[in-house]
Structures are given as structure tokens and as C-alpha cells.
Amino acid sequence: MSLPPERQQKHYFGLIRLIVELGVFSAAVFSLALFVAAIAQAYQTISHAMRHLGEEGTAKHLMIAAVEQADLLLVGMALLMMSFGMQALFVGRVHNVPDWLHIRSFDDLKQKLLGIVAVALAVNFFSVALEWKAGQDILIYGLALAAIILATSLYSLVLARQSRHDH
């Protein structure tokens, strides 16, 4: 006994929504795990630094760890935003979140994620630059990241113009 075509479509869409919900959940769990890992890493790093205050390299190690934590938090935030965005686009609007987290379209989600990716890449380069030692070739790495940031910025600009055109 087969279902009528309209019921069959509803059934398949319900199944797709369930799969998306699992994706939403997994992105949120990864985000939470990254936030917890960043907090635990911050606690350990700060505890270690407080025991070694005044020693050579402690302040620089603390600064590098702070930048690396910012990178972890940015990736966690991107995953959280992706989770909220998928929830809003496929399941239903998410309530009680700040306005900047409201996702109205797939292009809106991409635009927000591109911004975080560009900042995360810049933070990553800053972390590498802090640990840079003379003799290592950091220029190639910096140029590669700059090219990626430029490409994502241009894509973001195209998305913004296209979105304004559509409205």
C-alpha cells in the first residue's frame, strides 16, 4: 500500500528535517565542546603562568595561548551560528537569540560564516607570527592566508550585492 504523492513528499521532508536536526545537534555539541576545551585550556595556561610569573617566556606563552583560545572560540562560534542557521532554515525560527544571530536565508548564513572564517584565519596567522623564529619562511603562509581572506571577502561582497538586488 503506497502513500499518495503529497503524503509521500511530506514523509520525505519530515525525514530530511530529522536528518538536519541531527546535524544541528552535532554542530551545537561540537561548539559546546570547543567552548569547554577553550575554558579548560585557559584555566591550565593561566594557572601555569601564575606559578611562573617573571620567568622568561611566560608572558609570551600566555599571549600565544590567548590568541589560540580566540581561534578556538571563533570556530566554536561559527559552529554555533551554523547550528542556529540550519535550525532556522530547515526546521523553524529560533527564539530568544540576539538579532545578529537571526538567519533569514542561506545567503545570510554564508555571509555571517564568511566573516567569522576571515577573522579566524587572521587570528591564526597572528598566532603563527607570534611564534615565528628568524629563518622560517612565514611570508608564503601569510600570502596564502591573505589570498584566502581576499577571496572570501570578494565572495562576501558579491553575496551582499546580490542580496540587495534580490530585495
Give the rounded percent of residues in the chain with a pLDDT score beyond 90: 27
Q: Report the distance separating Cα 51 and Cα 45, nearest Å.
A: 10
Residue 167: pLDDT band with limits 50, 70, 90: low
Q: What is the pLDDT of residue 128?
A: 79
94-109 pLDDT per residue, tens: 788 888 788 888 888 8
Return all residues near 47 (Cβ < 8 A) that are at least 6 apart: none
**Number of domain units in the chain:** 1
pLDDT at 1 over 60: no
More confident position, 42 or 88:
42
3-state secondary structure of 132: coil
63-116 pLDDT per residue, tens: 889 988 998 999 999 999 999 888 888 887 778 888 878 888 888 888 888 888
Report the predicted TM-score, pTM, of the whole model to 2 decimal places: 0.75
Residue 121: pLDDT band with limits 50, 70, 90: confident
Q: What is the pLDDT of residue 41?
A: 94
DSSP calls for 131-158: H--TTS--HHHHHHHHHHHHHHHHHHHH
Contact call for residues 79 and 31 (beta carbons, < 8 A) = yes
126-144 pLDDT per residue, tens: 887 877 777 667 788 788 8
> Minimal CA–CA distance to 115: which of 157, 55, 63, 60?
157
Mean pLDDT of the chain: 85
Report residue 101: phi and psi, to 5°: -95, -5
- Burial pattern 111-144, b for ≥16 Cβ within 10 A else e, equals bbbbebbbbbbebbbebbeeeeeeeeeeeeeeee
* Rounded average pLDDT over 51-64: 89
Please measure the distance between the N-terminal and C-terminal CA atoms of the chain and give it in whole angstroms.
45
Which residues span the domain enclosing 15?
5-166
